[in-house]
Amino acid sequence: MEVRHLQGIDGARSAEGVTIVVDTFRAFSTAAYAQAKGVGPHYLTDTLDQARELASRHRGAVLCGESKGIKPSDFDIGNSPAEVLGNDVGGRVFIQRTSAGTRCVLAALGSASVVYPASLVVASATAASAVGADLVTIVACGRHGSGWAMEDDATSRLIDNLMHGGGDPDGVSLTIATSESADRLIAAPWAHPGDVALCTDVDRFDFTMVATQHSPGTATLAIIQ
């Protein structure tokens, strides 16, 4: 099994084979909590306007996301697992757009054979789903889809190690939870104070998320167990 590591949206465009797209703070932690709450169809979009247009076609849809970390004023909830837990999202169409994670997934879908959005909360399940593939590409989304992010890099390396029978999930979780990235998120005025703890709850869920192209700039998200 060959494992390649790429970075950000530009890297995602070059993804091949089974591709794992990692966004720990916060897109694919938020997505995992939404799936666990039993949302209806779950869409990922490339742009805010694509998210809005989808929402206009689905009565009662939940608009979730951010632009440079901040929830748009017309969105229902931010890119926040704590906000997912605090709102009635079960059974509702869930439309998510983020600056890094959802855009990286859409970029990877152009060339990858399968795309697994991932974070620390689904690390081991995602690694297990990729074992046995000839080629695995792991994309660390990074800050805003371009800058390096410690939490995405550490989660990517953990998933790689888990695929090879190693890895220290608890140790990586603690490292991320006590990192400068975590401190920065906790201090951000637009972030929920509970997000870091929820995002670093390693292996909280035993499912893998899979993204499928829906239309240009839009994908659907589902889970496999």
User: Could you tell me the domains of the chain?
Assistant: 2-224 (3.90.1560.10)
Q: Do the beta carbons of residue 59 and residue 190 sit within 8 Å?
A: no
pLDDT by residue (tens digit) across 201-225? 999 999 999 999 999 999 999 999 8
In angstroms, rounded to a whole number, what is the distance separating the alpha carbons of residues 133 and 116?
Answer: 13
Q: Do the beta carbons of residue 61 and residue 92 sit within 8 Å?
A: yes
Calculate the dihedral angle through the C-alpha atoms of 119, 138, 130, 37, rounding to the nearest 10 degrees: 20
pLDDT by residue (tens digit) across 96-111? 999 999 999 999 999 9
